[in-house]
Structure 1
């Protein structure tokens, strides 16, 4: 279970901290303990604390690729993709042949590219570790807030329509395990550039949520489907 895993990492951190208290004058033990605590915190999704500890470990051991890798993963959790790319690049300077680092750098670069387009987590205001229930709750709140029928002027209504579509797209991607996995790997599953086959711009067959096509003319009629 997820809680069991969390508790195991928490227990490991306590043991490493105990080592540092017991042997405060042995730099090697402190260095290794901070490295492992850094790793555990990332696995626990404690991203901000992980960055702090990983940075301390990096100062003690600047060429440690594991520390750089783990801090990069913490930055990814914080959606600070440029810093994640920098850490993976620095780690690769010390080990060009490491496949894990190569794959991590590729993923961080893809996430950075995606973040400069649409970030579905940011659209819904949820963390990258959010579960389906949290995602749906955030979606419902924002969908009600930005429903175009709530706005009177044409300018406000157009802005609401755009946000409404983004909110619906975010919910579509993040509640579908396969699509979410693609997005977490740095690929936007709704980006036409990433669609396979279907020449001529994908054939225009994409189904829009809530039973409307935002590019049709005339008045819109929005329907909610909160499931």
Structure 2
């Protein structure tokens, strides 16, 4: 299933929780990954002259966050990026954002899917102590739980399609916009359940939803 970044605006407390997590005293940002880009979803800024803006996106090959070891789920720390020879190919990126100290923690859902990152950055070289790292790790885990609960509420558990609840939320937030509702009937589906069993019926439903999603991409 492709990640729909527009989905998060329908989560009831997304903005409030994201900003609570992003600790106003520091420069924190929450990002999400797609196949090709890192999208900056939320930013809590301090007075530092850092150029990472909410709503911006970065090609994955230019993003420091992709250096995180997501398989182990551990934090990545660069206390002085200017001295990191392994990041020399990203020099243009971190110079343009004015970031020289970086703490990045993966946000991973319980099913193993990588959502993105929760990061703390600084304009100058900075030493991140163990307490700071552990705090950001705990916040990232809390946010992953929230994302999973909201996704369960908004999507059908079998097919992953948006359900009636998410449709109602969409209409509540777009009451003045026009749109189209499409009804789709699967002829003969009852016979599949009756003759081949509900497990086969579930497979058919998932396959239909997958083909609809692919045709819309």
Alignment TM class, shorter chain as reference = under 0.3
Larger relative contact order (CA 8 Å, sep ≥ 6): 2
Higher strand proportion, which one? Answer: 2
- Normalising by the residue count of structure 1, what TM-score does the alignment of the two structures yield? 0.26
Q: Flag the structure with larger Rg.
A: 1
- Normalising by the residue count of structure 2, what TM-score does the alignment of the two structures yield? 0.27
